[in-house]
Structure 1
Amino acid sequence: MEDEALLPNEDDSDSEETSIESQGESDEEREETFDCALPTTHSYLGDDMNELSGRTLLEWEREIDLDILPLPGVVLIPGETLPLYLYQAHHVTMVKRCIEGNRTFGVCCLFRHAPDEEGHVTTLSNVGTTAEVFSVKEDMTAGIDTITVKATGRQRFSILSRRRQIDGNVVARVRIKSEHVISGPPQSAFALPPSLLALKPVTVATTTQKQRVMEKMRSNPPSMGQFPLWVYKLYDCNIILDKVKASLKSWNDKVNVDHVSLDPIAFSFWIAANLPLDDALRVELLTIDSVIYRLQRELTIIRKYAAFCCEHCEAPIGHKDDLFSMSLDGPLASYVNPGGYVHQTITLYKVIHTRTVSHPTTENSWFPGYAWSIVQCSRCASHLGWKFARARRDLRPAKFYGITRSAIKPAIVDTSGGNESTTNRGMCRQS
């Protein structure tokens, strides 16, 4: 991880080495007293931002030219809040231009990889999400024009073509992706044949009564155009939603989804935004146009998800059991540091194979009342995130960890016997 990804003021000269940060807390100590509404306001950006009203909804399947903001390690999902601190002149110019128009620009993930034959080390995702600015502040810092922004992810799009302008900004021709909703099964699929409706309900079915039902069914077979009931259930949004909720609750009772919208599209995006996945999996979910298929894919991932590991050395870092929400947005949310680097960060009660390498400070803390220290992988020394310790004794939990999503990858168990493309082969090395 580059230095720009680290918060400032770190002091590694007196670093504290800890091979395992896994000390747990009692259930009583884990009863949160922290106001989870505070991180959603991103108060560390200041309280003097100008609020903008209105909402822009682009026409589905429409092709338009859109300013693109490439962000490394960030895959914006519709419904997510995106905080930005921009100081590069071309980015500042682009956002100002968007605010004067419909306040909307596009966000695409910038993949970083080893140089290819042509020397390219980055690749821009061909899908992204529109971001609509709802809060902004312009400033001058050390003679440099800066702009602070809070935006909301709105609609998915696919890139048809793109070009770089003379000012350095990327403009793309995009198609706004629509959401394909499969209509529910006809009522006749769940209705009993008319001949069976005449049967009176009984408490205990006798052999004679069972024979009567079977005879009625044989004399009134369903039409050849109807599918079996189990087929319809595979595409019933309510049934899939209940399965996703049950699977998440099996992780632990701290992943609360009761407050999430029951609208299938909004719910599917909330799940995509809050699962600790790598960039490739988030982009895959972003490309799925059908809410049913997206929910089915998410259900498969949730059921196979085991833990997550260091993205560089595959050392085990955390387990799904320790995931919890320090924000009303969920266990994963985006935050920006004073260097302008956006971190999509998950919160956990404990981690393993990590070490803290800086003194704690409350400056620019994303969680008011907590001091942060930088956390590294104890095996490869790559930057993982931060340890947050309370600065006030009335706050609980007493400590927790914020792990940046771009520094980890999931360990997904393939129970089918096939080759799951996102499976971390060999799982996480345990020693």
Structure 2
Amino acid sequence: MEEERIRDIERIQIEHLRELDSEELHVEEVDRESSDDDDAHDRGFGGASGSREPTFNVGLASLHTYLGEVEDTYHRFSFLDGGAMYTLPLFYLEGVVLFPEATLPLRVIQPDYIAAVERALRQADASYTIGVLRVYNDTNTEESRFATTGTTAEIRKFQRLEDGSLNVVTRGRQRFHLRSRWMGAEHMPCGEIQIIQEDLPLRTPRDAVGRLAPLRNLRIANASQAKQHFHRDENEDSDAMSEESFEGDLSLAERSLHRSALLSYGSDIMDESTSSDYDESPCRSEFHSGRSILNSSLGSSRSVEDVRSDNAFVRDGEKLNADRQPCRGLGWRKDSMRRLREVPRSYWPYWVYRMYDSYCLAQRLADMWKQIVRSPSVDGLVHKPDLLSFHIASKIPVSESTRQELLEIDGTSYRLRREIELLESFDCIRCKSCETLIARRSNMLVMSSEGPLSAYVNPHGYVHEIITLYKANGLAFIGNPATEYSWFPGYAWTIAYCGTCRHQMGWRFTATNMKLKPRTFYGIRSSQFKMTEVESRRIY
């Protein structure tokens, strides 16, 4: 049903494209110094400002119609096993970082890459699949370097042309580590890869923890004061919850971790007489060592997953103590647990859970993205934090090196936190070579249903990831507008260079009929711009 719905949408978009082609084309020259009225009008198409919508159908750009009649392979495969090893044909792409669920068009001209696609179509394991890796020049040695973390790409559409070249549309699927690479038959690049086992985003019991006092408040005599101390910024509903109801909201792993915390913290409230006896027991040093590990973890910014291995030592120590006959203090433990249950508590303060709760971070990231990019909406991905993190990473307008950094991050919560930090910090888009100011974040424009940053391929097979802007400064233009092989149907393109250092920055796109809005916009290559960050701010 989902595939049929997508095909129906594509059919409607193609009909719209034919209507554009049937209209009389008229390339309108736009002066570089746009009027204030034009700027005010076009501002409505970018970022979170403005109220008008573009008349251009943003779904057309995502179809990559400039590739011609590329046929759907109708091949969809299940995900490869995490940790499994595969041998795949590889594509090394400069200036491109592919993420899971992102679309990557390819114009395959070189014989070695044609052989790579041919092998992918007929291989038994991971059929219709290639591996995509970023290649870049080392600024120190000026030699080509290959990333060791890439993404598998599934061939969704395929067309063989009369000259033997191929037009292919792929979609990113899973991250992998490159273990080795070599040149196979016909100089075809091949590699042995290992699929990365993605973590399962966990939901901490925020509602339960939010109504409990942190364990550090056990030293406060009055339990009501403890709750008031922790909830000084809360409005109401701070009633205590029973141990049973609290632990009922935890997973098995989190429940074991919580109980270990209670046992380790109980040593802080034992009586003097029991303490003197306990000091002489042979198990004190081992239990105290485990408690020190846990307390050290609590004092850092580590997540629940990071301290699980440490708490395994605590649990092992508890088992060892129970098995030893001479070990004393078991009566103290029972008394400690009884006294601990007399006050509301939680393993960590509420704000610690929020820092690494993937769903909480996903909601915050989605809200920030909505303020910066009004459409397309990412609300549907809030309940899928892992997919949201990859989606934002593939669309966030930062340099390719930063996007490669995002691809290499293991752990959904850590990737989400890094993306929030990037969205809070970046502001200006500058030329990578001379740092001339080209645009600001507020100048971003969505001209594709996939977002403000997307990948396109030119007739020579070079893939460009570009960010679209409604306004750009410091550019010079060469040549007359051309409509052939335009990535945006109904627009003519003109090559744009940096007016200072003369490096190619991208293209200016001009509407070829009066019905299209915006009349002019710009596509800047991600490999040629850098982001200027404002002063970094803490996430919490």
TM-score band by shorter chain is 0.7 to 0.9
Q: Distance in 2 between matches of 1:52 and 1:238?
A: 33
Question: RMSD over aligned Cα, in angstroms?
Answer: 2.9
Residue 344 of structure 2 aligns with an amino acid whose one-letter code is: P
Q: Is the 8 A contact 1:237 1:292 kept in 2?
A: yes
Please state whether the residue corresponding to 2:481 is helix, strand or coil: coil
Q: Is the 8 A contact 1:311 1:409 kept in 2?
A: yes
Confirm whether residue 222 of structure 1 aligns to residue 241 of structure 2.
no
The answer for the alignment partner of 1:159 in structure 2 is 178
Q: Is the 8 A contact 1:369 1:392 kept in 2?
A: yes
From 371, 378, 396, the equivalent of 2:492 is 371
Gaps in structure 2 of 5+ consecutive residues? 1-28, 46-51, 214-235, 243-339
Give, in angstroms, the shift of residue 171 of structure 1: 1.7
The answer for the alignment partner of 1:9 in structure 2 is none
The answer for the alignment partner of 2:143 in structure 1 is 121
From 74, 99, 102, the equivalent of 1:80 is 102
Tell me the alpha carbon deviations over residues 174-219 of structure 1, each in whole angstroms, 9 at most, x when there is no partner.
11112113422246424559xxxxxxxxxxxxxxxx9x989x9x99
Shift of the 398–260 alpha-carbon distance from structure 1 to 2, 3 Å rule, reads farther
The answer for the alignment partner of 1:189 in structure 2 is 209
Give, in angstroms, the shift of residue 19 of structure 1: 8.9
From 100, 106, 115, the equivalent of 2:131 is 106
Give, in angstroms, the shift of residue 289 of structure 1: 1.7
Residue 464 of structure 2 aligns with an amino acid whose one-letter code is: H
Q: Distance in 1 between matches of 2:62 and 2:441?
A: 23
Q: Distance in 2 between matches of 1:114 and 1:330?
A: 30
Tell me the alpha carbon deviations over residues 70-119 of structure 1, each in whole angstroms, 9 at most, x when there is no partner.
00101111111111011111110110110112010100001023472xxx
Confirm whether residue 234 of structure 1 aligns to residue 350 of structure 2.
no
Residue 307 of structure 1 aligns with an amino acid whose one-letter code is: C
**Which has the larger Rg?**
2
From 367, 378, 383, the equivalent of 1:257 is 378
Q: Which has the higher strand share?
A: 1
Confirm whether residue 168 of structure 1 aligns to residue 187 of structure 2.
yes
Q: Distance in 1 between matches of 2:128 and 2:95?
A: 23
From 398, 407, 425, the equivalent of 2:528 is 407
Q: Is the 8 A contact 1:178 1:289 kept in 2?
A: no
The answer for the alignment partner of 1:32 in structure 2 is 54
Q: Distance in 1 between matches of 2:97 and 2:423?
A: 19
Give, in angstroms, the shift of residue 400 of structure 1: 0.7
Q: Distance in 2 between matches of 1:21 and 1:266?
A: 41
Shift of the 57–182 alpha-carbon distance from structure 1 to 2, 3 Å rule, reads closer
The answer for the alignment partner of 1:45 in structure 2 is 67
Give, in angstroms, the shift of residue 235 of structure 1: 1.9
Q: Distance in 1 between matches of 2:74 and 2:115?
A: 18
Aligned length, in residue pairs:
378
Q: Which has the higher helix share?
A: 2
Q: Is the 8 A contact 1:182 1:235 kept in 2?
A: no
Give, in angstroms, the shift of residue 46 of structure 1: 0.4
Q: Distance in 2 between matches of 1:18 and 1:188?
A: 58
Shift of the 156–28 alpha-carbon distance from structure 1 to 2, 3 Å rule, reads closer
Q: Is the 8 A contact 1:21 1:352 kept in 2?
A: no
Residue 194 of structure 2 aligns with an amino acid whose one-letter code is: R
Please state whether the residue corresponding to 2:523 is helix, strand or coil: strand
Q: Is the 8 A contact 2:70 2:167 kept in 1?
A: no
Which structure is higher in RCO with an 8 Å CA cutoff and minimum separation 6? Answer: 1
Give, in angstroms, the shift of residue 21 of structure 1: 11
Q: Distance in 1 between matches of 2:188 and 2:382?
A: 36
From 497, 502, 509, the equivalent of 1:381 is 502
Shift of the 313–174 alpha-carbon distance from structure 1 to 2, 3 Å rule, reads same
From 413, 419, 422, the equivalent of 1:301 is 422
Q: Is the 8 A contact 1:255 1:324 kept in 2?
A: no
Q: Distance in 2 between matches of 1:244 and 1:81?
A: 22
Shift of the 416–333 alpha-carbon distance from structure 1 to 2, 3 Å rule, reads closer
Q: State percent identity of aligned pairs.
A: 32
The answer for the alignment partner of 2:224 in structure 1 is none
The answer for the alignment partner of 1:138 in structure 2 is 160
Shift of the 146–213 alpha-carbon distance from structure 1 to 2, 3 Å rule, reads closer
Q: Is the 8 A contact 1:136 1:148 kept in 2?
A: yes
Tell me the alpha carbon deviations over residues 41-76 of structure 1, each in whole angstroms, 9 at most, x when there is no partner.
111000253433222421111122222110010111
Scaled by the length of structure 1, the TM-score of the pair is 0.80
Gaps in structure 1 of 5+ consecutive residues? 1-14, 194-209, 418-431
Q: Is the 8 A contact 2:507 2:522 kept in 1?
A: yes
Give, in angstroms, the shift of residue 402 of structure 1: 0.9
Counting only pairs closer than 5 Å after superposition, residues 53-92 of structure 1 correspond to structure 2 as: 53-92=75-114
Q: Is the 8 A contact 2:421 2:536 kept in 1?
A: no
Residue 167 of structure 1 aligns with an amino acid whose one-letter code is: E
Scaled by the length of structure 2, the TM-score of the pair is 0.65
Please state whether the residue corresponding to 1:360 is helix, strand or coil: strand
Residue 401 of structure 2 aligns with an amino acid whose one-letter code is: A
Please state whether the residue corresponding to 2:86 is helix, strand or coil: strand
Shift of the 402–177 alpha-carbon distance from structure 1 to 2, 3 Å rule, reads same
Q: Distance in 2 between matches of 1:252 and 1:57?
A: 30
Q: Is the 8 A contact 2:72 2:158 kept in 1?
A: yes
Please state whether the residue corresponding to 1:24 is helix, strand or coil: helix
Give, in angstroms, the shift of residue 416 of structure 1: 5.7
Give, in angstroms, the shift of residue 258 of structure 1: 4.0
Please state whether the residue corresponding to 1:140 is helix, strand or coil: coil
Residue 90 of structure 1 aligns with an amino acid whose one-letter code is: D
Q: Distance in 2 between matches of 1:50 and 1:365?
A: 21
Q: Is the 8 A contact 1:371 1:391 kept in 2?
A: yes
Residue 79 of structure 1 aligns with an amino acid whose one-letter code is: E
Counting only pairs closer than 5 Å after superposition, residues 338-377 of structure 1 correspond to structure 2 as: 338-377=459-498
Q: Is the 8 A contact 2:95 2:136 kept in 1?
A: yes
Shift of the 340–97 alpha-carbon distance from structure 1 to 2, 3 Å rule, reads same
Please state whether the residue corresponding to 1:371 is helix, strand or coil: strand
